[in-house]
Amino acid sequence: MKIKAAVFHEPGVPFAIETLDLAAPGPGEVLVRVAAAGVCHSDWHLMTGATRHTTPVVPGHEGAGVVAAVGPGVGRVRVGDHVALSWAPSCGACFYCLHDRPSLCQTYVEPLWAGTMMDGTTRLSHDGRPVYHFSALACFADHTVVPEACCVVLGKDIPLTVAALIGCAVTTGVGAALNTARVRPGSSVAVFGAGGAGLSVIMGAKLAGAGRIIAVDNQEAKGDMALTFGATDFLLAGPHTIDAIRRLTEGRGADTVFEVIGVPAVQETCLAAARPGGLVVLVGISPMGSATNLPGALITRQEKTVTGCYYGSANPARDFPLYADLYRRGLLDLDHLISRTYALEQINDAYADMLSGQIARGLILFP
């Protein structure tokens, strides 16, 4: 079938809207009519070269839609199901899946980074030449073919716009607070970066009962957003940020500090923002090949812990429906996370708005 998609060709070159060929789903695969796709920094990392990928490739890793067809052997989803798409499919049988770390599933890693399906081929093409899938989803397109493991069925009362956010920003952020850090009631939290994922960390920390939630960003416009989603304090990033955090935490520093940007220098600052015995959670994805200088002597003497957080340490099959239910019950304010919507043809404008810092999350909507 013919589809319309945003295609990335090389760093620095705007996304191009092109007509591509999409093959029918193969064994264990699902055709999804995409309804909404989130405008996320992780796709923009392709544009800056921070993430390297085989090209041409269709980005888009935060999406939701309706199942339009299924391939042979698919039994868990049916035509007409509303699904949130997970960019970290899991097999359920490898070492990591059996130890409840499905986001680290070893079965899907190689084809996911190669931009192919499990058989090593793509379902996307242009004039007979392969076009690759980003993060197993390639959902900056009106239709996409994905592994069945990428599809999590949600109730049809959950708007597909909200389901799309659950597919990445919400699961990454709320999961970082609840699964990775296990924020304790009454504890202090600092969140560096108040974009879609950072605001989701704030919502997760509030849900966990944190007593003080300090949001830090270099965009003053993010202050009102952060306070709306549950932060108790907002600090504009600068040379006095650490002193300000300590003043707000009885001179100690925060119990848990989240870095949700992926900038090594900010990660180093986060270590200083954590109290002795505190936890630093690295949520943002740093550029490939970059390095973060964390002083080992200080980590040892102050017993600080630094840990990574990939996809909110989530089990999507368990956590997507949980977050959908929390939204349903009014405990996660996901409607207001959506600042602006765009047509696919406006995708380059959407990223310009994201980079301006004026929006929480933008969404590409498909008719």
| Residues annotated as catalytic (active site), given as ranges | 40, 42, 45, 61, 168
State both tokens at 349: 């404008």
In the 8-state DSSP scheme, what is residue 169? I
The answer to whether 174 and 207 have CB atoms below 8 angstroms apart is yes
CB atoms within 10 A of CB 343: 13
Report which of 167, 162, 171, 226 is spatially closest to residue 193, judged by C-alpha positions.
226
How many Å apart are CA 57 and CA 101, to the nearest integer?
28
Cα–Cα distance for residue pair 65/261, rounded to 1 Å: 28
Q: What is the Cα–Cα distance from 106 to 109, expressed in whole angstroms?
A: 5
Residue 241 token pair: 């940020």
Tokens 């399906």 locate to 117
Tell me whether strands 143-147 and 151-153 are parallel, antiparallel or unpaired: unpaired
State the maximum Cα–Cα separation within the chain, in Å, rounded to a whole number. 64
C-alpha angle 86-112-166 in degrees, rounded to nearest 5: 15
Q: Which residue has the tokens 């949130």?
A: 84
User: Given CA atoms 20, 52, 39, 145 in this order, what sign does their dihedral have?
Assistant: positive
64, 114, 363 from 342: Cα distances, Å:
15, 29, 6
